[in-house]
Amino acid sequence: MTLKELSDLLGLSPTTVSRALNGYPEVSEATRKKVAAAAHAHGYAPNTRARALATGRAMAIGHVIPISAKHEMVNPIFADFTAGAGEVYSRNGYDMLMSVVSDDDEEQAYRSFATKRNVDGLIIHAPSLNDQRIPFLNDLGLPYVVHGRSSNATAPYAWVDVNNTRAFQRATELLLDLGHQRIALLNGLEHMDFAARRRAGYEAALASRGVDPDPSLMFSGEMTEAQGHDLTRTLLARPDRPTAILVSSMIMAIGVRRGIEELGLTLGRDVSLITYDDDLSYFRNGSDIPVYTATRSSVREAGRRAAQMLIDIINGKDSPTELLLEAELTLGMSTGPARRG
Amino acid sequence: MTLKELSDLLGLSPTTVSRALNGYPEVSEATRKKVAAAAHAHGYAPNTRARALATGRAMAIGHVIPISAKHEMVNPIFADFTAGAGEVYSRNGYDMLMSVVSDDDEEQAYRSFATKRNVDGLIIHAPSLNDQRIPFLNDLGLPYVVHGRSSNATAPYAWVDVNNTRAFQRATELLLDLGHQRIALLNGLEHMDFAARRRAGYEAALASRGVDPDPSLMFSGEMTEAQGHDLTRTLLARPDRPTAILVSSMIMAIGVRRGIEELGLTLGRDVSLITYDDDLSYFRNGSDIPVYTATRSSVREAGRRAAQMLIDIINGKDSPTELLLEAELTLGMSTGPARRG
DNA sequence: TCACACTACCAAACCGCTTTGGAATTTACG
DNA sequence: CGTAAATTCCAAAGCGGTTTGGTAGTGTGA
């Protein structure tokens, strides 16, 4: 069913039918009703491609999912972020276009979106400290929103981020309040912006209490379960082992827990643990009392906010283009007072 | 840069330029070279929307991500499946269109894809035993491939699936070989096809050894960590507690492990555990020796195969439209001989 | 009654590409 | 050399919508 067929059926011109369906005022209420009814009855919906060509708007947003070439790893938060963004898109009539590329080819993917003109905007994930995509995209002229920030960026850009510094500062302070002095940090890769900020928060808390940071307690790497386990085993084998561990991801925390329990130690009693929790839908942190004490922030909500921000930008609304979400610190069973050595 | 601009620049007609770029024979090698060079130099790529309109092909595949309205849960395997499929799509010039919908609205989402004509095919996830989407999509006339199968479907359909029955049969046999008699099954929701097949495999193995299945050891529900933990606690509190547990998902297995260890028991010694492992990139099962004994199959590879199958169907190749992948059974540290009561 | 402003509709151009149906030029052959 | 067959290119017609620039028809005020 095309517009022309529908208009022939109604004895109207395509112009009028189009206007009726798109809510233009130059059409009487009576015919608008008739048109709407007929469209519904015959299951007519405008062909996206034709409409996009005529309006110059693709009504689609592009997400580039980079895959670490080395580790073939997909960031586990994409699914939930995407779900949040997707809600907003469909509510606003936008499609979501995903492009899965090896992280070497990422720039090419953006360029291709731009020249092929099949999206109206982009969401950028996982920015590094000095992310080259930002100047690149500023040149490209396609609107975009970054999920996260890039500390060293010089030009302005739109972003939605969590206050990673504050979150880790508060978590560290809680551990210090509980009497912990040797606190290990299992962080993400430190060229990533979020990881650098988390470390800054951790160090700030230590500094404010006059505790010297011990570089041998600080790690950064891929946030996998195995990594969490292995690092924990190494850490706890030391004579001067830490009494608390601060972890950048729930998945890694699970590995930490495994390491702790393999040694016959009890989480929350022998070793305290606070983790960052992205509130992933398939990995809720306990049912009633959280298993892990955690700084929590919904990545799904971040997806919703970023999507809305991007749509606003595309539509020329001058709403704020920077949004800092606070993480909440929820007490679970993985923290307790430091035990006297 | 449009085709017309490029052709003006070259002093050629749009026709010739289009043909040169698309590899049609009616153009001399010399001009083809010239055109290709100019296109590259000016960064020209055809406007997807216009091309789609002209050719009648969207060059895009739709994925509908249903979100459980009740639990707001995103299936964690989507990310990896998507990554696999995405690789194949981009290699073949296809885009991937995602639509996130509450599972009540799923049919509407397919219909919308069909009437708006913005995809050439669909991938269907998580089929139930008697999935209504199959007859619905057969009527709709949009090619599709199902990730999984629907046992009660009457009409034929294209699918890529893992041999769930065989996988769970072998896993159960291994436990029986180790002397376990009371084996619990923590399964997914049993209206889902994969869960029903896994149970069938489990029951077949028990039957072949003359072990009576005990319905009180069989559970089905959402495969979350919390669920795994809670069920395990309940099971192990029983006087006639099972000596082994068979679990349908790695994430659930982590909860099972937590439950076991909270009771001061040791995994692989006091209680054996085999899990289904989808080989998720962010949750590799141990580094050298797997933590869990598992029936493993790469959901990423399934994504690749399903995508290729769909593209073949769209292009009218008559390659096979049914693909059954076998899971491998890998030994980890979570299984051991049954201990004498 | 006439000019003027609305209202309700429509014809045709356009978005940027592909493709059909020639037309012009070159090559091949008797 | 003349003609048939290739070769190489192009004009124009779609694809299915939106949008510009009208034109009838109705209502208002002088």
- State pLDDT tens for residues A303-322: 999 999 999 999 999 899 99
Chain D positions with an atom below 7 A of a protein C-beta are 7-12, 14-22
In this structure, are A309 and A189 located in the same domain? no
> Do residue B99 and residue A100 have CB atoms under 8 angstroms apart?
no
> Do residue A118 and residue B49 have CB atoms under 8 angstroms apart?
yes
B59 lies within 8 A of chain A by CB: no
Name the amino acid, one letter, at A76: P
Compute the distance between CA of residue A340 and CA of residue B74 in angstroms, rounded to an integer. 44
Give the residues of chain B that fall short of pLDDT 50: none
- Shortest CA distance from B264: residue in chain A: A264
Look at residue B332 and tell me if it is in a domain: no
- Out of B49, B79, B258, the one facing A53 most closely (by C-beta) is B49
Look at residue A275 and tell me if it is in a domain: yes
In this structure, are B132 and B215 located in the same domain? no
- Predicted pLDDT of residue A103: 80
- Predicted pLDDT of residue B220: 96
pLDDT of A136 over the 80 cut:
yes
Compute the distance between CA of residue A18 and CA of residue A15 in angstroms, rounded to an integer. 5
Mean pLDDT over the full length of chain A:
93
Instruction: Give the domain CATH number at B266.
Output: 3.40.50.2300
A76 lies within 8 A of chain B by CB: yes
How far, in Å, is the CA of A33 from the C1' of nucleotide D30? 38
Average pLDDT over residues A68-93: 86
Per the structure block, which two tokens stand in for A5? 């067929």
- Predicted pLDDT of residue B340: 65
In this structure, are B93 and B210 located in the same domain? no
A70 and A222 Cβ atoms separated by less than 8 Å: no
- State pLDDT tens for residues B38-57: 999 999 999 999 999 999 99
Using a 10 angstrom Cβ sphere, with 0-12 exposed, 13-18 middle and 19 or more buried, the burial of residue A139 is exposed
In this structure, are A168 and A279 located in the same domain? yes
B267 and B333 Cβ atoms separated by less than 8 Å: yes
pLDDT of A145 over the 60 cut:
yes
Average pLDDT over residues A66-90: 85
Asked if strand C comes closer than 7 Å to B9 Cβ, the answer is: no
Per the structure block, which two tokens stand in for B17? 């330029």
Q: How many domains does one find in chain B? A: 3
High-pLDDT (> 90) share of chain A, %: 84
Q: Considering only residues 11-50 of chain B, list those whose CB is below 7 Å from strand C.
A: 14-15, 18-19, 21-22, 26, 46-47, 50
Look at residue B33 and tell me if it is in a domain: yes
Phi, psi of A78 (to 5 degrees): -55, -45
In this structure, are A130 and A110 located in the same domain? yes
Closest-CA distance of chain B to residue A252, Å: 9
- Predicted pLDDT of residue A133: 93
Closest-CA distance of chain B to residue A232, Å: 14
In this structure, are B173 and B257 located in the same domain? yes
In this structure, are A39 and A117 located in the same domain? no
CA A106, A307, B126, B107 torsion-angle sign? negative
Compute the distance between CA of residue B147 and CA of residue B159 in angstroms, rounded to an integer. 6
B26-45 as b/e: b if 16+ CB within 10 A? ebeeeebebbeebbeeeebb
- What residues make up the domain containing A65? 60-162+300-325
> Do residue B100 and residue A79 have CB atoms under 8 angstroms apart?
no
pLDDT of A202 over the 80 cut:
yes
- State pLDDT tens for residues B69-84: 666 777 788 889 999 9
In this structure, are A181 and A282 located in the same domain? yes
B82 and B96 Cβ atoms separated by less than 8 Å: yes
In this structure, are B141 and B188 located in the same domain? no
A338 lies within 8 A of chain B by CB: no
Average pLDDT over residues A121-137: 94
Chain B hits for A66, CB-CB cut-off 8 Å, are none
In this structure, are A68 and A154 located in the same domain? yes
- Out of A47, A116, A280, the one facing B116 most closely (by C-beta) is A47
Average pLDDT over residues A175-193: 97
**Alpha helix stretches (DSSP H) within chain A:** 3-10, 14-21, 29-41, 48-55, 77-91, 106-116, 133-140, 164-177, 193-208, 225-237, 250-262, 299-314
Look at residue A271 and tell me if it is in a domain: yes
Confidence of residue A105 (pLDDT cuts 50, 70, 90): confident
In this structure, are A282 and A321 located in the same domain? no
A7 closest-nt by C1' vs CA: C10
A116 lies within 8 A of chain B by CB: yes
Look at residue B333 and tell me if it is in a domain: no
B273 and B247 Cβ atoms separated by less than 8 Å: yes
- Predicted pLDDT of residue A340: 65
Asked if strand C comes closer than 7 Å to A13 Cβ, the answer is: yes
**DSSP reduced 3-state for A276:** strand
Element (H, E) at A100: strand A95-102
Which of B75, B95, B101, B285 has the highest number of chain A CBs within 10 A, making it the mutation to test binding with A? B95
In this structure, are B152 and B207 located in the same domain? no
Look at residue A10 and tell me if it is in a domain: yes
Look at residue A51 and tell me if it is in a domain: no
Task: Point out the least confidently predicted range of A87-101, A167-181, B20-34, B273-287.
Answer: B273-287
- Predicted pLDDT of residue B22: 93
Q: Which residues contact A67 (CB under 8 A, 6 or more apart)?
A: A73, A74, A100, A101, A102, A103, B83
- Shortest CA distance from B40: residue in chain A: A115
Chain C positions with an atom below 7 A of a protein C-beta are 7-12, 14-22
Instruction: Give the domain CATH number at B18.
Output: 1.10.260
